[in-house]
């Protein structure tokens, strides 16, 4: 199976959340997520579609998580979500983006922002 990459940009700030964000839109890649994988580097991430909740059980590092609605609006953000934590359900979320810690702050991403997704 070919890895599909997406570039994600914040329309409000013009900041790029990730240049090489891997698309996980099938059951197994979504379930696996980053389990057993090295931590993402700057510019990398994982786009879980569909997804309205995540867990960090079995993880060895924290991640920033951005929940996004069907129309590309940021619904909720979690900075440096720690291993062992969970976000069970986010109302109106259709997808989640897992990113290196510090990405949300560096890109000034906040609820209400519109994100643009393009093939990378």
DSSP structure string for 20-52? EEEEE-SHHHHHHTTTTSPPPPTTEEEEESS-S
Domain count, the chain: 1
pLDDT value at position 3? 76
Domain extent for 48: 5-119
Q: Given 3-state DSSP classes, what are the helix, strand and coil percentages for the chain, each rounded to the nearest 5?
A: 10, 40, 50
The pLDDT value given to residue 120 = 86
pLDDT of residue 94: 98
- The model carries a pTM of 0.95
- Residue 1 has a pLDDT of 52
Which residues partner with 64 through β-bridges?
A: 99
CATH code for the domain of 93: 2.60.120.1140
pLDDT tens digits for 73-119? Answer: 999 999 999 999 999 899 999 999 999 999 999 999 999 999 999 99
Smallest Cα–Cα separation from 69: which of 97, 40, 102, 93?
93
- pLDDT given for residue 107 in this prediction: 98
């Amino acid at each position: 199976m070919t890895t599909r990459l997406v570039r994600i940009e914040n329309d409000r700030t013009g900041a790029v959340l990730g240049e090489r964000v891997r698309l996980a839109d099938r059951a197994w890649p979504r379930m696996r997520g980053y389990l057993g994988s090295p931590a993402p580097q700057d510019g990398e991430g994982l786009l879980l579609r569909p997804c309205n909740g995540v867990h960090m059980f079995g993880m060895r590092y924290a991640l920033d998580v951005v929940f996004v609605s069907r129309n590309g609006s940021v619904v909720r953000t979690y900075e440096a979500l720690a291993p062992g934590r969970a976000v069970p359900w986010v109302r109106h979320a259709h997808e989640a983006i897992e990113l290196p810690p510090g990405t949300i702050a560096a890109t000034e991403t906040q609820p209400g922002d519109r994100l643009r997704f393009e093939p990378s």
